[in-house]
Structure 1
């Protein structure tokens, strides 16, 4: 193992008990459970957290309002205090059943190859935003997707929902609990009669005119030049897996309303024996709190499988 970014426990030719691909909230949580069971653990991390665009995290018990990067940095520092943990900064580009029997081989972009008896995928997802000028630049700062994560901080102000499809109806009906809502259809969705009644009952204003750009904090500028000043804007993104590893391994996927995710059982085991998946890559929708919980379950389940053998595939 020649990678110069290798940190932690000394390298060995023996396979790790578990390799965790992804060192954000879910991966750190999974690794911590295995480390506390005194198992040899390797975390491979490419440094691309899904919420890296947001400065603060909300709704996570004891860390409400903490910096997103600070939570990860503190989690990593605590994890690396365990003597059996190793860390590699790099991107895992391939994974396959080990040629030497039990476990999996993981190859990094620089050619480094590591082997683990169990594999935990905490690889996350990538949000695909609609092509509206000014939207991407405000993503995570004044343009959001999770009301529970960011709605409260808008102080019951004017909130916009930019339609991307039928799922945006859900956003529009939820968000009046956080402020005064305007639903910008922008040609992406047209509510039927019953849905219009639901929107009216929730006090939602519907705007059908086409959107030209997002400006200011989160102002919605229409093609006719009119402008709607918003405290924040919510968009239902399409999420795609940030890594191809699950597909390469043959893990079964499910199609959720926001995109595909790895199908797992209640213990976060995938359909491939010995491969677990946690965090946003393995659920329909996520948050920091969900990711940490999923990671803890995946780590415990991976450890139990090392002790008692693998359960039937999900």
Structure 2
């Protein structure tokens, strides 16, 4: 039996593992090698790693953990988690059954991109989600926001304030945008119907009528999905965020199931490498404390907001 099984081996999971490794606890990190930001050529705003490809950062993280003999890796997906504190069972996609005293969920979320030709190919390259992560590299150039909901206006106002004076909202059939406020902020609104997006040096949008439009990048706030994830199958409590559900956690990243912790993109409505690393460290420390003092880190109350 492992002290802890960590489901997800990206930034949050590896950060949690490091805290437990330094306490010489037995840890198994399960991961299938598909981190959410694998398409991005660089991670920005990460102290000491600004501009470094996420894959390179993860290689360094794993190299750090390789020096701790109590840490193991398993390249597999989690099919199910059952049991209770001190007696969890994790079933893998390949059929292996693994026992653990504690669980840390760090498997991330699934992005639901608009069903438009070219969006998937450009995702992480010229179709972006975060001005803090990617805005500096395209500042001062024409930018667009592809509306997927009310967050489009929020993103557009941010970009117009500090990244570019040339911002367009591509309405994409979304209702409820305050077009008067957008116009007052000198943000253009384009309600034409899409045909396709084409990446090159920037990204071109072709419409059913009128001329194409060229932008340095298009920002979107993608909806996210946890359907069928280990967190859902385990039954942890969820909250509704602006882009979709996320796992509700307490001060030490504990969920409302005793012995289960969560960190990273699945446990916050704000996604950032720095947040994932910090929350992962907190989850690792909280999980360790719960092994030593079972009543010291209580599970979050089911009714907590």
> 1-side partners of 2:151 and 2:290: how far apart?
38
Pick one of 7, 10, 14 that aligns with 1:28.
14
1:281 corresponds to which of 263, 266, 271: 266
Task: Find the partner of 1:37 among 17, 23, 32.
Answer: 23
- What secondary structure sits across from 2:215 in the alignment? coil
Deviations 1:14-73 (A, max 9, x none): x11111010000000000000011111111111110101111100111110011100011
Q: What's 2:34 paired with?
A: 48
SS of alignment partner, residue 28 of structure 2: strand
Residues 164 and 189 in structure 1, CA contact (< 8 A), matched pair in contact too: no
- 1:6 aligned partner: none
* 2:183 is equivalent to residue 200 of structure 1: yes
State the match for 1:307 in structure 2.
292
Task: Indicate conservation of the 8 Å contact 1:123/1:243, yes or no.
Answer: no
**In the alignment, what sits opposite 1:110?**
94
Cα drift, residue 88 of structure 1: 0.6
Matches within 5 A, 1:51-200: 51-97=37-83, 102-176=86-160, 177-179=162-164, 180-191=166-177, 195-200=178-183
SS in 1 for 2:24: coil
Q: Distance in 2 between matches of 1:52 and 1:20?
A: 20
Residue 264 of structure 1 corresponds to which residue in structure 2?
A: 249
Are 2:128 and 2:220, in contact at CA under 8 Å, matched by a contact in 1? yes
1:242 CA displacement: 7.1
Secondary structure of 2:12's aligned partner: helix
1:198 positional shift: 2.6
Unaligned runs of 5+ in 2: 301-305
How does the TM-score come out when normalised to structure 1? 0.91
SS of 1:107's equivalent in the other structure is: strand
Q: 1:60 to 1:36 in 2, by over 3 A?
A: same
Q: TM-score, normalised by structure 2?
A: 0.93
RMSD across aligned C-alpha pairs, in angstroms? Answer: 1.4
Q: CA deviation at 1:313?
A: 2.0
Q: Give the superposition deviation at 1:243.
A: 5.3
Question: How many angstroms does 1:173 deviate by?
Answer: 1.1
User: Which residue does 1:7 correspond to in 2?
Assistant: none
CA distance in 2, matches of 1:243, 1:144: 25
Q: What number of residue pairs does the alignment pair up? A: 295
1:11 aligned residue: none
Gaps of 5+ in 1: 1-14
> What's the offset of the Cα at 1:284?
1.0
